[in-house]
Amino acid sequence: MTTGVRRRMGVEERRQQLIGVALDLFSRRSPDEVSIDEIASAAGISRPLVYHYFPGKLSLYEAALQRAADDLAARFAEPRQGPLGARLLRVMGRYFDFVDEHGPGFSALMRGGPAVGSSTTNALVDSVRQAAYVQILSHLEVTEPPARLELVVRSWVSLAESTALIWLDGRRVPRAELERQLVHDFAALLAVSAAYDEEMGALVRRVVADEPADGPFADLAARLVTLTAR
């Protein structure tokens, strides 16, 4: 027979529960619209107890952002197996899974939310961008990128971020098309850079050599040929 006695959570366990509750609420509504009272109610504890674990809403918000940033950065991790185009397409699928599921939270993370301009929030956003940058270089099997390649990869990471933020405002473009388009954007940025630099040209030739005829990079080439043939 059960006694109905509720198990008491440890300090760290309670902190993690509150972060999870806050992140869930921030994922569905703007953090500015979520109150400490709502977080306490969703966690099944009193408002004063929330302040026992976090000194204020900002500190809880930043802890939730840290978890979101770690999750988002992990979306760029992908085994270095198979063609690059297919790998990037899987990465974009996971990236937009996060964007789709945590719309307001994603916007808050990338735009700063209630902590606009804070060193903590800026560092979190930069950590996501840097993790994405490092992962893409890993896929390209480059450890010391030349200047043009760094420009391409960092520009593409920024493009994916801004595209996702714009897409959230109405979702007017089918998500699957947008994911493929971003992979095409990466290929296009590489190709344009290769037109100006032989080192980039060698990289592009190496990447293209491993791409199958039915991959996203070949799909882009076919679309461009069709476009110019009209």
Residue 51 resides in a domain: no
Q: Give the pLDDT of residue 118.
A: 67
Structural domain count, the chain: 1
pLDDT tens per residue across span 99-121: 998 888 788 777 755 555 567 77
Q: Which candidate, 178, 24, 169, places its Cα nearest to that of 95?
A: 178
The domain spanning residue 129 has which CATH number? Answer: 1.10.357.10
* pTM confidence score: 0.84
pLDDT tens per residue across span 57-70: 888 888 888 888 88
Range(s) of the domain holding residue 218: 68-228
Q: Which candidate, 161, 143, 147, 139, places its Cα nearest to that of 82?
A: 139
Contact at 8 Å (CB) between 135 and 77?
yes
Q: Give the pLDDT of residue 140.
A: 94
Residue 5 resides in a domain: no
Residue 31 resides in a domain: no
**157, amino acid identity:** V
Is pLDDT at 4 greater than 50 in this prediction? Answer: no
Q: Give the pLDDT of residue 113.
A: 56
Measured CA to CA, the distance from residue 134 to residue 89 in angstroms comes to 17
Average pLDDT of the residues of the chain: 88
Residue 95 resides in a domain: yes
Measured CA to CA, the distance from residue 20 to residue 115 in angstroms comes to 19
Tokens 């080192």, located at residue: 199
pLDDT tens per residue across span 175-184: 999 999 999 9
